[in-house]
Amino acid sequence: MRIGFYPKLAADGIRKNRRMFTPFILTCTGMVMMFYIIMYLAVSDILNPLIGAYTLQSIFALGSWVIAIFAAIFLFYTNSFLIRHRKKEFGLYNILGMGKRNIARILFWEMLIIALVSVALGLAAGITFSKFAELGMANVMRVNVTYDLSIAPLAVKRSLETFGVIFLLLLLNSIRQVRFSSAVSLLQSENTGEKPPKGNWALGILGVALLAVAYYLAVTIENPIKALLIFFVAVIMVIIGTYLVMISGSVLFCRLLQKKKSYYYKPNHFVSVSSMVYRMKRNGAGLASICVLATMVLVTMASTGCLYFGEESMINLRYPRDINLEFRFKDISDFSDKHIETLKSGVFDELETRGVTPKNEYFYRSANLYGFVKGSTVEVDAAKISETDAMSSYLFYFVPLADYNAVMGTNETLGDGEALLYSYRTDYNSDTVSFNNGESFKIKKKIDAFTSNGDSAMDILSSIMLVVPDLENSIKGIDTIANFNGDRLLQMKWICNFDTGTTPKQQVALYHDLTTAFKDSSSKEKLGYSSVYTSSQEFERQDFYALFGSLFYLGIVLSLVFIIAAVLIIYYKQISEGYEDQARFEIMQKVGMTKREIRKSINSQLLTVFFLPLILAVMHLVFAFPIVRQLLLAFNLNDVPLFAATTIISIAVFALFYTIVYRLTSNAYYNIVSGAREDR
């Protein structure tokens, strides 16, 4: 047999089945391109000057592996359509005398051609568009970038390795399917599954139960820490539940439609429902895959978009003023008015020597510690708090009444044992607060607001602030509680935040000057503090832009990958089902069914089944709204209207795109069933 026989046969097979192979090759090309671009961004020099460069590189590296894993799963899924469509051809080869080993050689050359074309085109497109991707990322991260086109050897190497393994696994899986199938089963492969399936009530009920539990967990969660732990469990339950409901429920749904005679016995419903019911078990898996992908797109777009557009709000919460100083003390006695006045004068002297007059300034003393709330009692001894209790811990702040009145411009009064209470990200409903082995306070009044607290915004836990008459006496009993791992539980701080009225560049310079000045040992000794934490809104802004810009950009890329996957699943469903339904529609045309009625039947199928994934995906997103909001709180974002807006926009954009794509792919189905016999 001639050397070029198998390559020629493989090339002819690809060419003759280009309607099936072209989307697959384009998908492989797109996956290679996306993987290369993300790996290119992970090693890009654009990230090096940033403080969190390692974190950002890790985010993009993780994104590349998400694409790699998803590509492997999805290409296996789409390749199954190709093999199923080709099995009849391979069965004919087998009957004509070609052995399974010879068919394996054809499969080898087909996969080699696809791999070479896909990887070559994918790398070429990736290298071409990598600079555009870098410019786009620089834009959302608001950093500078050069316009030199470059190639990342590591990204090329990883792309070749990753997709080399994927294509090898695809080849082995294809050979396995042909190897363990007889010639007869290969010839009849397109007719398998024609036995009417039965709806499995048990699996359907199990799927509904899993979705109900996942929805309940998502809706009732009230703690960002619990949200982090439960989120992935809920995601797995939703995925499994979706597949069970779509596979079993869709069969039952079609059966119910058949029993409704007024609906079923109509030309535009009869053919579509009767054909769908025979393949609904396989069809349900495809619909579930589309639903899961749509949900992933919607959650990714809504959450990352919210983080990106809400980054200024997060910056203002975390860093309330241009310059934020936090002086820490070891002894309660350092909280005396005289001591604080000395420290305040020292800060103003440093600003005066640099020609800066503070504006919008506020100062207050604060003592904080972590505790677990049970009723009206707070356990603050770390040795007595279990891991389960720690999941419901709170951060408690004690602020003296004089400082609160000065900051908020109020004239509140308190008696002995009384306190004002302000809760952040939580509700506290008891009238008293008792600390084990410490003080007990009666809540005189719940206050609605307090000035921005960077610590509360940064901490993933909810917080409760108690305004007490006298800080030193109020926390004395709490300070005697056992230490945690030898460290003091109670942290004592003086917060000093102010605006400068200077340019961003001058603010950053002042931040560096103050950091150097106050970390000097002579300043600590003179002003009586143990350590200082300094921060600048302008200095931190670039890192915020970089972090959330990179997350937003990665979200866009992953959403695009998931959308491409959903489009391909829809396309292959239309093509494969079109060939399956050819004979049925040909018979119906012979007995008088017009092409207009065929179009109505296709539209009926569209409205009956294929919008179910979108509807269920929107339902998933609605119930996921509370838990995703809790996850956003971990990033200091508590802007519910913004998250609601990005969610609604994401749903609207994806629904429009989904409708357009399905309309376009449904035309391919229509062309096949309405006149493909003549075309072939």
Decide if 272 is inside a domain. Answer: yes
Per-residue confidence band for 500, with pLDDT thresholds at 50, 70 and 90 = very high
Q: Is residue 159 part of a domain?
A: yes
Domain stop point among 474, 501, 528:
501
Mean pLDDT computed over 534-542:
87
The whole domain housing 58 covers 1-192
Token pair listed for 497: 């935040």
* Domain end call among 157, 192, 227: 192
- Please indicate, yes or no, if residue 78 is contained in any of the structural domains: yes
Q: Are residues 188 and 221 in the same domain?
A: no
Kindly state the tokens that stand for 125: 């497109």
CA distance 300 to 557: 10
Return the beta strands (E) in 527-654 as ranges: 531-536
Do 599 and 676 lie in a common domain? yes
Task: Clarify whether residues 160 and 206 are in a common domain.
Answer: no
Q: Please indicate, yes or no, whether residues 312 and 423 belong to a single structural domain of this protein.
A: no
Whole-number pLDDT of residue 365 = 92
Residues 356 and 383 both lie in one domain:
yes
Whether 305 has a pLDDT exceeding 80, the answer reads: yes
What pLDDT, in 10s, does the model give residues 589-631? 776 667 777 677 666 666 666 678 888 999 999 999 988 888 8
Report d(CA 379, CA 212) in Å as an integer. Answer: 34
**In terms of C-beta density within 10 A (0-12 exposed, 13-18 middle, 19 or more buried), how is residue 447 classed?**
middle
Do 427 and 283 belong to one domain?
A: no
Q: Are residues 164 and 250 in the same domain?
A: no
Q: Are residues 435 and 573 in the same domain?
A: no
Q: Determine the pLDDT at residue 374.
A: 79
| pLDDT at 580 exceeding the cut of 80 | no
Domain total for the chain?
A: 3
Q: Residue 162: is its pLDDT beyond 90?
A: yes
Tell me the two tokens of residue 11.
């090339």
- Give percent of the chain with pLDDT exceeding 90: 22
pLDDT digit string, tens, across residues 343-365: 999 999 999 999 999 999 999 99
Q: Is the pLDDT of residue 118 over 90?
A: yes
Would you give the end-to-end CA distance of the chain in angstroms? Answer: 30
Same domain, 331 and 313: no
SS3 410: coil
Is a pLDDT exceeding 50 seen at residue 678?
Answer: no
Q: CA separation (Å) from 627 to 70, 240, 616, 623, 639?
A: 24, 19, 18, 8, 14
Residue 511 lies in a domain: no
Q: Is 524 inside a domain boundary?
A: no
Strand partners, 440: 434
- Is position 510 within any domain? no
Does any domain span residue 225? Answer: yes
Q: Render pLDDT for 42-72 as a digit per residue (tens, 0 to 9).
A: 887 766 666 556 666 777 787 788 888 888 8
Residues 103 and 4 in one domain: yes
Same domain, 85 and 215: no
Report which of 536, 367, 370, 360 is spatially closest to residue 451, judged by C-alpha positions. Answer: 360
Q: Do 36 and 184 fall into the same domain?
A: yes
602-608: long-range pairs with CB below 8 Å, 24+:
602/272, 602/666, 602/669, 602/670, 602/673, 603/268, 604/268, 604/269, 604/272, 604/273, 605/272, 605/273, 605/276, 606/662, 606/666, 608/257, 608/269, 608/272, 608/273, 608/276
Give the domain-ending residue among 470, 501, 532: 501
pLDDT at 406: 92
Residue 522 lies in a domain: no
What angle is formed at CA 565 by the lines to CA 603 and CA 238, rounded to 5 degrees? 85
Q: What is the mean pLDDT of the chain?
A: 80
